Amino acid sequence: MNNIREITDNVFYVGVNDRRIDRFENMFPLTKGVAYNSYLIKDKKNVLLDSVEAAFTRAYLENIEKALDGEDLDYLVVHHMEPDHCRNIDFVLNKYPNAKFVGNAKTFKFYEQFYNDAFKDRYYEVKEGDEIDLGKHKLKFVFAPMVHWPEVMMSYESTDKLLFTADAFGAFNTIDGHLKAKNIIHRGNWLDEARRYYVNIVGKFGNQVQALFKKVHDLEVNAILPLHGPVYDDKDSIDFIMEKYNKWSTFTPEEKGVVIVFASMYGDTEQACDILAKELDELGVNEEIEIYDVSNTDLSYIISACHKYSHAVFAPINYNSGLYYKMGAFLEELVGTGYKNRHVAFLNNWSWGGTSLKVSKELLETGKHTYIGEDVLINSSVKDQQVEEIKNLAKAIKEDLDRM
């Protein structure tokens, strides 16, 4: 109880941490859980912004009650109808019978798909640009369809200049004391988890994120308040995350570096990738070199790394004359996140024949990539000839990095 935080005058954080969840959306592994953020603005009219997951009803309602401090709730605004943000809508509306349920037409459609229409008489439908006057605070609605669901909207509080951004600008990991991004933004794995969250969940909708940027470009923003992760409430952290989102949503590499992604059943292809990494180092490549095995690393981490760096080397192998299944799954997911505009190369173990190299290239062909060097072809194991070819590929990658 009383796990509330005052972000600015009469604007409270009333969210919760989930340290028991193993996978986000039952897909992406979480090593440090996730936070479900919800906010409450107190004024002449009190408004609650979004809800949390079902397992936290009691703690969540206690947070709301403590923040209200005996006052009633006038509005519940739902920016995003994904269940981790809407499982407690009915509990809130039952506890506060005078509260209006604020959403757009698609919000209510989704609500009825997931639940029912028991609160239909309390719907308060808003459209793009509509505003709710709370007293001192004014809440204006900015629609953000497909960032990353069709019904998503955001709201801009024009007095304190606060932007409530739904899932945009979110991150994995619980909030461990530090609610403000400025306290964690350059520590630990925070950025890696923010990137992994964006790339795997919002990733493919880069055009929609850019459209949103145009909508909010002229707004003065003192704080960004997402539904997961920390709050950005100072210029440095706002500029930092906006710059990252601009790169991520335009599929621009964050930095120069080489990701090597391989499939290997008995270690021969893996050995070839290690040789390539060694050669890159000996040629003086100072940028990061990261090697991933598609069979023992969750794909979300590999996909995040591919979006981070400028260069990638893919090392597929044949399986039953086709593409090794886990490499195929990885490449399909990677392409599904909108992966494009990278410098890529191939190292292929074709053994007794098959189409793995052809299929891999076909999967990636929509990404408008620049192909580097000659494909290295390995017949079962690495021979002296392949070592020379790997050296030549390393040289081509090094020269390409130097030109960037």
Buried b or exposed e, range 291-318, using 16+ CB within 10 angstroms = bbbbeeeebbbbbbbbbbbbbbbbbbbb
Tallying the residues shown for the chain, one arrives at 404
Position 188 scores a pLDDT of: 81
Position 43 scores a pLDDT of: 98
Mean pLDDT of the 79-85 span: 95
Question: Distance between CA atoms of 303 and 246, rounded to whole angstroms?
Answer: 18
With bands split at pLDDT 50, 70 and 90, how would you rate the model's confidence at 212? Answer: very high
Six token digits for residue 65:
């009650």
**Residue 70: Cβ within 10 Å count:** 6
The answer to whether residues 311 and 400 touch, using CB atoms and an 8 Å cutoff, is yes
Mean pLDDT of the 305-309 span: 98
Buried b or exposed e, range 219-242, using 16+ CB within 10 angstroms = eebebbbbbbbbbbbeeebbebbb
Q: Where are the domains of the chain?
A: 5-249, 255-399
Q: Is the pLDDT of residue 1 over 80?
A: no
For residue range 345-390, what is the model confidence (pLDDT) as tens digits? 999 998 878 899 999 999 999 999 999 999 999 999 999 999 999 9
Mean pLDDT of the 18-35 span: 96
Q: Which residue has the higher pLDDT, 185 or 67?
A: 67
Question: Distance between CA atoms of 231 and 229, rounded to whole angstroms?
Answer: 7
Question: pTM for this structure?
Answer: 0.94
The answer to whether residues 81 and 111 touch, using CB atoms and an 8 Å cutoff, is yes
Buried b or exposed e, range 34-53, using 16+ CB within 10 angstroms = bbbbbbbbbbebbbbbbbbb
CATH 3.40.47.10 assigned to domain 5-249? The reply is: no
Position 2 scores a pLDDT of: 66
Tokens 């309390």 sit on residue: 122
Pick 255-399's CATH classification: 3.30.379.10, 1.10.30.50, 3.40.50.360, 3.40.50.300: 3.40.50.360
Using a pLDDT cut of 70, give the percent of the chain over it: 100
Position 152 scores a pLDDT of: 96
Q: Are strands 100-103 and 162-164 parallel, antiparallel or unpaired?
A: unpaired
Same fold, 5-249 and 255-399: no
Mean pLDDT of the chain: 96
Using a pLDDT cut of 90, give the percent of the chain over it: 95
Amino acid letter for position 15 = G
